[in-house]
Structure 1
Amino acid sequence: MPRFNPLVETLAPPPIPSVFAWGDAYDGRSGPMIDLSQAVPGYPPHPEMLRLLGEYAASRAYTGYGPIEGEDCLRTAYAEHMTGTYGTPLSAGNVHVTAGCNQAFICAAMAVAGAGDAVLMTDPYYFNQETTLAMLGIKTRFVACEPANGFLPEADALAAAITPDVRAVALVSPNNPTGAVYPPDLLAALYDVCKARGVWLILDETYRDFLPAGTRRPHDLFARPGWEETLISLYSFSKSFCIPGHRLGAITAGADVVEQVAKIMDNLQICPPRSAQAAVATALPLLADWREENRREIARRVEALRATMAGVPAWRVGAVGAYFAFIGHPFGEASSAHVAEKLAKEAGILCLPGSYFGAGQEGYLRFAFANADVETIGGLRERLERFALD
């Protein structure tokens, strides 16, 4: 019998369907399911976004192949958006559009590392990025993000973890799974380490649009001379525009990186979804106020979660921000998968085990709280108070 690729065959199945199966077994005893599992917007797309998607999808202009790097209209619109966000001029030539941020990551990883090389990740890590590297035969190294430090890495520890085979450091801020927001000065220090060691910094900023109020800008790295030789920034349009099913992301990097990514994309997908690109290009400036109100709404949900968890002190908030909270459960050595399964089946709370994000995270659960409104988040308190692990 022919054999499968062992780099794929040895991976665990996708984790989200197994969690949904736990939810399917819930009998409703505690009320409607509170779904804090997969990170999906907890409110609908703007009607104008839906209109634009329908209009462009019905246009013959977008039924053929498009530019590998993405539609000029979206590359230009996103470059202008990035210029406004970071206060530093960026151009369409710095942008490569992808079919979602997971694809942006695989393109970035393939552009800078090959089989036998290594990428340094944080622990806990985003599982799709770890499995992506495993499938490519790229080794993973890890730097611990300690609970006492708010699940943020330290620059000295990151520097010490860069072994000779490391080609890139992969960071996510705001973080998935913990929600921790990396302060600009920390990102500057981590960038300096990468630059000094001659390795790439791949910075996933999928949840950038949900930073706390008053944040001047996520970082100043694009203002650094020669940033193109160190920084590769990743982004997703899914959360801001509530369109994860349309699979649209972007890479912001130097022209040389964009050139390498185009070689990869030509084999992965040829071009990203075209009509969605046209719709988002129009919506970027048009729906700015709506997106800002959504940011405020997510901030209200952060505060609601903090208040709710304060009422159940046995459960501790390890970190919280943007879309996620990393919640410490009170059940000692019990596996996080066991706790999460029982929560789903008996308390109607669907969340992800910490073990999905690293072997050392058994004491934690990931709550994707942005999925739920303020009232629903408030309902967590009673369910967690009553919950007991058999």
Structure 2
Amino acid sequence: MARRGTAVPRSRNADALQRSAGALSTAAMARMESDHAWFRDLSAQDRSWVGSIVQAGIRGFVDWYREDADQVPGTHGTALAASIFGAAPRTLAGVINLQQTVALVRLSIEVVESNIDTLLEPDDAPDAHAAVLRYAREVAFAAAEVYARAAEVRGAWDARLEALVVDAVLRAETDESLLSRASALGWSASGDVAVVLGTAPARRTETDLFDEVRRRARIAGMEALCAVQGDRLVVLLGGVTDTRAAADAVTPLFADGPVVVGPVAADLGSAHVSARAAASAQRSAAGWPEAPRPVLSDELLPERVLAGDGHARRHLVDEVYLPLVRARGTLIETLAAYFQTGSSIEGTARALFVHPNTVRYRLRQVAELTGYSPTQSRDAFTLEIALVLGRQSGRADDL
């Protein structure tokens, strides 16, 4: 309701402003064209949407001034946002930013204010000037609300899309849609992808956690996609050059417990191989309490085999046992004797009727060929399991 004694002047002022609304809108658009280069760069359709916002803003001021000029600023922000910005498509929020929108509003208000003295009676103008300033504040709040909601919606959509991409990698459901979804999230890494798994921290929001993961990945020259599944944090790293160093960059963000990283995959489409190995390693990690943090999935091959991972079993047979058999039969014989004699060089030499230096030489050959040294307890554990698995496979007879 208007205050007593102002109803007639405001009604008269509102009528005068309403008659000039078209001219004021035209003048505002002309100012936009001359004062702001970014407006001139917009497409014709986007300029027309901006024009509709300007017209709606001026009409909204006239209606507001006529009926509700005494209300507390900001009390009808949602309604004001709908009346002014509702005519434009939501995508316009992605074309012009909040700063440009504020400039648009400010210029429109300036055009209205600069014409008040010529449109209204001198005694009526001061009230209209004061109303314009209050209305400008209301519109600024309304614009901020529009952009805040657009950002919230986009953030929620991006989070869902990111979760879908990560889930598709874990499920090995990789296709063209996966790549397009990742591209929509800004993923541009063309290769060298590794998956890192661990327990998600309990006292951080997902938004804050994911932002920090991405920040640390960028500092290390990588890209990252994240998701929380139950109590598990999943991180996909792109642009990986050193697997352990890549995992080191984000490991502090995981909760206590094992952090495992899968092998590097060629690209996002084949990242499910890294994810599968990492998931198997995470399930098996309890079997090696002294494991480093992070630990590579290949470092947990024995535990993965014991937990029933067929891929780990085939890996030890194909990459450890069979190369030893193909190289020299004496390597397998020496390795078996070494384990049977309690890892004793001298005991192995006596069992094989050779010099101890010959045993040492053959064990070094094993280490060079497989990457596992029989004289190191952890490597010896892996080699012994590979030896058992190779014998069980029966594949040595095929060579």
Same fold, TM exceeding 0.5? no
- Report which of the two has the higher share of helix: 2
Does 1 or 2 have the higher relative contact order (CA < 8 Å, sep 6+)? 1
- Report which of the two has the higher share of strand: 1
Larger Rg: 2
TM range (shorter): under 0.3
Tell me the TM-score normalized by structure 2.
0.22
